[in-house]
Amino acid sequence: MLVAAAVCPCPPLLVPAVAAGAAHELDVARAACTGALGVLAAARPDRLVVVGPAARSGRGPHPEGTPGSFRGFGVDLDVRLGRDTGTASGRALPPSLAVAAWLLGRTGWSAAPIEGLGVGETLEPERCAETGRDIAARSERVALLVMGDASACRTLKAPGYLDERAAPFDAEVARALGEADVAALKALDPGLADELKASGRAPWQVLAGAAEEAGLSGALLYDDAPYGVGYLVATWS
């Protein structure tokens, strides 16, 4: 049963070493992420599952201890998903889960064992929901850390250029996350999300599937688009 969830953005720029001189620009977003992880710990889960976008859905979960790296972003920084258990597979974390590993390490997460799951950005909504249901059924007290960005088309300088549909799309996602509106998340259009480069669509729909029977309440902690990309932080508890 899902007892709590945190939703965080996953740009590598959240990691100060990657952002370098611009690191302070996301200080408020980092603080919101820290607060969201505190809500997860307070729920006393017996398992934490970290879900984030990946090029394609993972071949099974990433066990605790799986390594990740930001070397692809020009930074000599390695991370690990939780503690080193000696059971990690040979696969490295996708970037979204590497950001999650950094956030968890930064806050000293020790509340529950961790596993990670990369979700293909093109995964169909119902399969996302099925994945969420499976996650929620794994343990009596499951918490989810859901990584993903909203649209990347909010300004002319955004990675996807300006698209007038981006702001309304992000506003609806922010509302749904803030109100724990499972039906609204399930109804997100994968085609539109892809056109707007919203990497969080599939992970959010995994959350929706996991929360179907949970009866959780939501809170929106952060909603901004500092680089023309929508970053959202929310908690469900």
Name the residue ranges covered by the structural domains of the chain.
Answer: 2-236
The per-residue pLDDT of the chain, averaged, comes to 95
Residue with tokens 């006393």: 44
Q: Is residue 201 pLDDT above 80, yes or no? A: yes
In the prediction, which pLDDT does 89 show? 62
Paired tokens of 2: 């899902």
Domain covering 2-236 assigned CATH 3.40.50.720 in the classification: no
Give burial (CB, 10 Å; 0-12/13-18/19+) of 160: middle
Neighbours of 124 (CB within 10 A): 12
Q: Is residue 85 pLDDT above 70, yes or no? A: yes
What mean pLDDT do residues 81-99 have? 85
Each residue's pLDDT tens digit, 6-55: 999 999 999 999 999 989 999 999 999 999 999 999 999 999 999 999 98
Each residue's pLDDT tens digit, 109-134: 999 999 999 999 999 999 999 999 99
In the prediction, which pLDDT does 56 show? 74
Report the Cα 226 to chain-centroid distance in Å: 18
| pTM for the whole structure | 0.96
Is 197 within 8 Å of 220 (Cβ atoms)?
Answer: no
Each residue's pLDDT tens digit, 134-181: 999 999 999 999 999 999 999 999 999 999 999 999 999 999 999 999
